[in-house]
């Protein structure tokens, strides 16, 4: 009553605009619409019934109101008072594609016009939120539905791009490289969706400044707070895996905004209440601080993430069966200066660290490693007429530390290995005519590696090139060709968890030094892209990739282990590889019913020594269909379907009786057991892979807050996708039994936005 009285009093003293905002198509009233008096910091949001009221000082008689909401086109309305008035303004908003909030690759027509190669496929944040989840939304599991991306199993979020290995994708967080960005042995990625603003997956047309990976570049930008949002805002979410919280705010007095996001698994804490000790958890956290100072924009970002596994002897807790932890830390500073002519000056500096520690059976096996990356660089982009020229410098220093201790008698220690990569590059994009866009780029890299302990010196000057051309038939269609060569300077020296037949992407990374030269690949791409209608994008791109110098970890039997030097010098074998195929994408980007179809054909094989074979991720045919539906204002549904060729595997050709010697001095054999004789590597395939995922989300509104409840079912048909085969010798002849990938997994996520 008192409030109503106060409001009436205020209303009588000031001008007031009230009204309601609704969906133009469904006529549903829209809550949480941002309404701002343009040119001021004054504004409001609609309530849960779509109503709003905004009080204006009597000195402000003429102004513009801006209505905005995610997923809808922005509307500006002229307001004019002729004295103290109460105006009623109802607004109908039209749904349109999300652009500014895109979380994945942002391909737009503008980019299509200004990129001299195929533009990467794009997904919006809304799409990501609506897509079915595996336990919780995961950037890397979303990317796997894009064309050109294949996987070797459901158990890992690591991806292979156009035939390249999982280790050949460079992941950048705000321009700083990040190694092994995975939790839970690769089952989920290290990227919390609440903290990621955008991610671009470069599969072709990779910019010249990125010459440190053979296959692709995943460029991730951390998220701040939209400038329209006032006060503290955030997202709290809870899934069956973890709980997370993101808090952010604008600080107008500092012309800044920040976002802090943390995530942690909680099963260990919950089970502890029931006296059950779950020996595993992970956490991660992001910080993003953005400040505008005159023409400069400063972005300071940080990431930390850690996994812990600690299994102890049930009888004696002082004895550790397995103790394993690994994680990453990133700190990055980006400075941008732009002007109205479109010139951009970018300076960045960053540090990242990847460390791991593994202890098996008390002190039987101990290993730990620590890889630091210090990077600094600058890039200046300037437009001269029809030319857009970029020049840049990049310096990347990596010290490595790596220790293995095998029961106090067998030790390797590489504590003073380091590599340094300094690059200078230039790229010119030239619009030769209205229909033809050309690009040429060149970089020169000085690579140097060394060690204090033994001679690991490798000094090399490496040249990289980029050439591309795009011919526009009209505003909506273009054909493009691109070529580039790529280098990689660090490779996995095996997986921390060994080669257990599972692609666990927690690698030991080692720098290439001594006799090992940096790896090299050449990419050739020819593509066609455009729009069939205003809202249906298509792309078709064929490619051929040649790997001249691949380095692969040898089998342990072929490695000399007498000392560190021999171990390093004998641990890698050199080989060649190739990949070819084509990727198709057909995508409807706007409307209440959206989605895409993608098909990729891929052939990839490698040759090491006398052995040539398809890679583990050589899925020849990959078909993905994704459907997203907005069912009114409150419901959202998503369906994802995958149908792919089975992965190659090494079959067993026969079996034999294995008679191990019991003990040497007893001169007798153990009871014999059957062992399989393997054939040539990866010559047969598992049955085709199929999977259907579905999700349904419902939104509830509480004043200015929103609660989303999302139900997802991963592999809803419970398709039996074979991961591996084994033989059950309880019967004679033995039965070939399949071990399947992930079964049907339902999950629920609660996402509270405030």
Q: Which residues bind other proteins (CB under 8 A)?
A: 313, 316, 319, 361-364, 406-410, 499, 532, 538, 555-557, 560-563, 584, 586, 597, 599, 620-621, 623, 643, 645-646, 651-659, 661-665, 667, 669, 672, 675-680, 683-685, 687-688, 727, 732-734, 736
Nearer Cβ to other proteins (291/403): 403
Place of tokens 């579905």: 694
Give φ, ψ of 271 to 5 degrees: -65, -25
Nearer Cβ to other proteins (343/362): 362
Token couple for 389: 């020229």
Q: What sign does the dihedral 438-172-619-546 (CA atoms) show?
A: positive
Token couple for 610: 């006398």
* DSSP per-residue codes, 475-535: TTEEEEEEEEEEEE-EEEEEETT--SSS----EEEEE--TT-PPEEEEEEEEEEEEEEETT
Nearer Cβ to other proteins (407/435): 407
Please state, in angstroms and rounded to a whole number, the distance separating the CA atoms of residues 374 and 367.
Answer: 24
Place of tokens 């503008």: 110
Nearer Cβ to other proteins (109/655): 655
Please state, in angstroms and rounded to a whole number, the distance separating the CA atoms of residues 740 and 642.
Answer: 16
Q: Return the half-sphere exposure (C-beta side, CA atoms, 13 A cut-off) of residue 292.
A: 11
Q: How far is the CB of 412 from other proteins (least distance, A)?
A: 10
Token couple for 290: 């953005």
Nearer Cβ to other proteins (62/316): 316
Nearer Cβ to other proteins (410/700): 410
Asked if 613 contacts 593 with a C-beta cutoff of 8 angstroms, the reply is: no
Question: Residues of 180-192 as b/e, b for ≥16 C-beta within 10 angstroms?
Answer: bbbbbbbbbbbbb
Asked if 505 contacts 182 with a C-beta cutoff of 8 angstroms, the reply is: yes
As beta bridge partners, residue 176 has: 173
Q: What is the CA radius of gyration of the chain?
A: 28
Nearer Cβ to other proteins (99/659): 659
As to burial, measured by CB atoms within 10 angstroms (0-12 exposed, 13-18 middle, 19+ buried), residue 548 is middle
The two beta strands, 86-88 and 15-23, are parallel
Please state, in angstroms and rounded to a whole number, the distance separating the CA atoms of residues 650 and 680.
Answer: 6
Q: How far is the CB of 621 from other proteins (least distance, A)?
A: 5
Q: How far is the CB of 716 from other proteins (least distance, A)?
A: 21
Q: How far is the CB of 11 from other proteins (least distance, A)?
A: 58
Q: How far is the CB of 601 from other proteins (least distance, A)?
A: 9
Nearer Cβ to other proteins (662/739): 662
Nearer Cβ to other proteins (382/621): 621
Nearer Cβ to other proteins (25/532): 532
Place of tokens 């504004």: 43
Q: How far is the CB of 567 from other proteins (least distance, A)?
A: 10
Q: How far is the CB of 556 from other proteins (least distance, A)?
A: 5
Token couple for 576: 């060649």
Please state, in angstroms and rounded to a whole number, the distance separating the CA atoms of residues 66 and 34.
Answer: 8
Asked if 597 contacts 606 with a C-beta cutoff of 8 angstroms, the reply is: no
- Nearest CA to 577 out of 606, 552, 551 is that of 606
- Nearest CA to 122 out of 651, 671, 585, 571 is that of 585
Token couple for 413: 């220690």
Q: How far is the CB of 480 from other proteins (least distance, A)?
A: 20
Asked if 290 contacts 299 with a C-beta cutoff of 8 angstroms, the reply is: yes
Q: How far is the CB of 389 from other proteins (least distance, A)?
A: 39
Q: How far is the CB of 29 from other proteins (least distance, A)?
A: 38
Nearer Cβ to other proteins (309/444): 309
Token couple for 280: 């595993």
Asked if 440 contacts 428 with a C-beta cutoff of 8 angstroms, the reply is: yes
Q: How far is the CB of 542 from other proteins (least distance, A)?
A: 14
Estimate to the nearest angstrom the gap between the alpha carbon of 295 and the chain centroid: 30
Place of tokens 């094989």: 605
| DSSP for residue 134 | B
Nearer Cβ to other proteins (129/504): 504
Nearer Cβ to other proteins (507/689): 689
Q: How far is the CB of 684 from other proteins (least distance, A)?
A: 5
- Other C-beta atoms lying within 10 Å of the C-beta of residue 486: 27
Nearer Cβ to other proteins (397/599): 599
* DSSP per-residue codes, 34-46: EEEETTSS-EEE-
Nearer Cβ to other proteins (229/361): 361
Asked if 172 contacts 370 with a C-beta cutoff of 8 angstroms, the reply is: no
Q: How far is the CB of 656 from other proteins (least distance, A)?
A: 5
Nearer Cβ to other proteins (473/662): 662
Contacts of 13 by beta carbon, 8 Å cutoff, 6+ apart:
58, 84
């Amino acid at each position: 009553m008192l409030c109503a009285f106060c409001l009436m009093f205020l209303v009588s003293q000031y001008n007031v605009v009230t009204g309601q905002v609704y969906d133009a198509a469904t006529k549903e009233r829209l809550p949480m619409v941002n309404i701002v008096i343009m040119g001021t910091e004054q504004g409001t949001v609609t309530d849960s019934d779509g109503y709003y009221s905004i009080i204006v000082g009597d000195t402000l008689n003429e102004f513009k109101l801006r209505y905005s909401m995610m997923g809808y086109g922005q509307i500006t309305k002229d307001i004019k008072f002729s004295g103290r008035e109460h105006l009623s303004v109802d607004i109908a908003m039209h749904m349109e594609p999300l652009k500014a909030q895109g979380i994945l690759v942002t391909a737009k027509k503008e980019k299509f016009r200004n990129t001299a190669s195929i533009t990467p496929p794009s997904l919006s944040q809304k799409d990501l939120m609506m897509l079915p989840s595996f336990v919780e939304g995961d950037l890397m599991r979303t990317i796997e539905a894009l064309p050109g991306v294949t996987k070797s199993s459901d158990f890992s979020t690591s991806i292979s791009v156009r035939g390249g290995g999982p280790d050949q994708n460079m992941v950048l967080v705000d321009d700083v490289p990040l190694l092994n960005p995975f939790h839970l042995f690769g089952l989920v990625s290290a990227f919390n969706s609440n903290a990621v603003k955008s991610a671009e997956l470069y599969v072709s047309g990779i910019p010249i400044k990125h010459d440190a990976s053979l296959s692709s570049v995943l460029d991730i930008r951390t998220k701040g707070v939209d400038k329209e949002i006032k006060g503290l805002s955030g997202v709290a979410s809870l899934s069956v895996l973890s709980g997370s919280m993101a808090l952010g705010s604008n600080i107008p007095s500092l012309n800044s905004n920040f976002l802090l996001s943390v995530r942690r698994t909680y099963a260990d804490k919950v089970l502890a209440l029931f006296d059950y000790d779950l020996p595993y958890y992970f956490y991660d956290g992001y910080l993003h601080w953005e400040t505008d100072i005159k023409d400069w924009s400063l972005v300071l970002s940080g990431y930390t993430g850690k996994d812990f596994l600690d299994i102890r002897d049930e009888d004696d807790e002082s004895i550790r069966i397995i103790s394993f932890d690994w994680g990453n830390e990133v700190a990055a500073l980006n400075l941008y200066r732009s002007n109205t002519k479109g010139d951009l000056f970018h300076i960045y500096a960053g540090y990242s660290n990847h460390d791991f520690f593994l202890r098996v059976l008390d002190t039987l096996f101990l290993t730990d490693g620590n890889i630091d990356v210090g990077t600094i660089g600058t890039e200046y982009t300037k437009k001269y007429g029809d030319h857009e020229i970029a020049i840049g410098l990049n310096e990347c220093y990596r010290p490595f530390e790596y220790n293995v201790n095998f029961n106090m008698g067998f030790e390797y220690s590489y504590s003073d290995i380091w590599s340094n990569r300094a690059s200078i590059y230039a790229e010119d994009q030239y619009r030769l005519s209205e229909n033809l866009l050309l690009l040429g780029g060149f970089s020169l890299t000085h690579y140097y590696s060394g060690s204090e302990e033994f001679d690991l010196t490798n000094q090399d000057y490496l040249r990289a090139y980029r050439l591309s051309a795009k011919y526009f038939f009209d505003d909506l269609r273009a054909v493009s060709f691109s070529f580039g060569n790529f280098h990689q300077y660090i490779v996995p020296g095996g997986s921390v968890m060994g080669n257990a037949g599972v692609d666990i992407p927690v690698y030991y990374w080692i720098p290439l030094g001594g006799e090992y030269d940096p790896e090299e690949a050449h990419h050739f791409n020819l593509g066609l892209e455009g729009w069939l209608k205003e809202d249906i994008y298509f792309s078709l791109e064929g490619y051929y990739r040649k790997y001249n110098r691949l380095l692969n970890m040898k089998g342990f039997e072929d490695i000399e282990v007498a000392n560190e030097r021999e171990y390093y010098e004998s641990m890698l074998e050199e080989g060649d590889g190739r990949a070819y195929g084509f990727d198709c994408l057909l995508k409807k980007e706007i409307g209440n019913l959206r989605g895409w179809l993608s098909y990729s054909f891929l052939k990839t094989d490698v040759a090491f020594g006398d052995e040539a074979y398809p890679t583990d991720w050589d899925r020849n045919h990959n078909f993905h269909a994704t459907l997203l539906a907005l069912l009114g204002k409150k419901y959202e549904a998503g369906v994802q379907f995958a149908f792919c060729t089975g992965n190659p595997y090494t079959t067993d050709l026969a079996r034999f009786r294995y008679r191990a010697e019991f003990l040497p001095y007893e001169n007798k054999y153990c009871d014999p057991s059957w062992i399989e004789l393997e054939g040539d590597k990866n010559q047969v395939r598992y049955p085709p892979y199929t999977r259907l995922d579905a999700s349904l989300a419902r939104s509830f509104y509480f004043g200015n807050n929103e609660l989303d409840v999302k139900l997802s079912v991963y592999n809803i048909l419970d398709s039996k996708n074979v991961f591996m085969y084994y033989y059950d010798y309880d019967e004679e002849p033995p039965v070939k039994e399949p071990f399947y990938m992930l079964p049907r997994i339902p999950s629920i996520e609660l996402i509270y936005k405030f």
